[in-house]
Amino acid sequence: MTSHEVTLEWTDGRTRTLDVAERQSVLEAAQRVGARLPYDCRSGTCITCVGRLLGLEDGESDDEDASRPDVGDAFAYRRQPRALTDDERDDGYVLLCIASPQADCRIEVGPRVRAEVGDSPWA
């Protein structure tokens, strides 16, 4: 079975690397090992679980001046991530409850990322 390493990075400096199996969401892998991530709908219709892709294992930079890695190269979605706009997806935001990694990567998580995206489009 294929799996990928996903490193979660909180703004307070904590990190946690997860082994995420093919077809498993990042949220499911985090819960399996006791790493706490916020979530609500589990279907990609709210933004409670949002994270932001920082880089791929191939060494792409998370430098703000560098172009962001393509979320489409890093994740496959179980269903359409309805709570994110095209611009938000282009900016690297990922709904971790329905996203399965396709490459080893690093993701910023936590309240600051959630605040950057704003309220749920359904609120």
DSSP state of 71: H
Domains, the chain, ranges and CATH? 3-59+69-119 (3.10.20.30)
Which phi and psi angles does 89 have, rounded to 5°? -65, -40
Question: How confident is the model over 75-105, as pLDDT tens digits?
Answer: 999 999 999 999 999 999 999 999 999 999 9
Residue 5 belongs to what H/E stretch? strand 3-10
Question: How confident is the model over 46-61, as pLDDT tens digits?
Answer: 999 999 999 998 655 5
- Rounded to two decimals, the pTM is 0.87
Report the alpha-carbon distance of residue 30 to residue 21 in Å, rounded.
Answer: 11
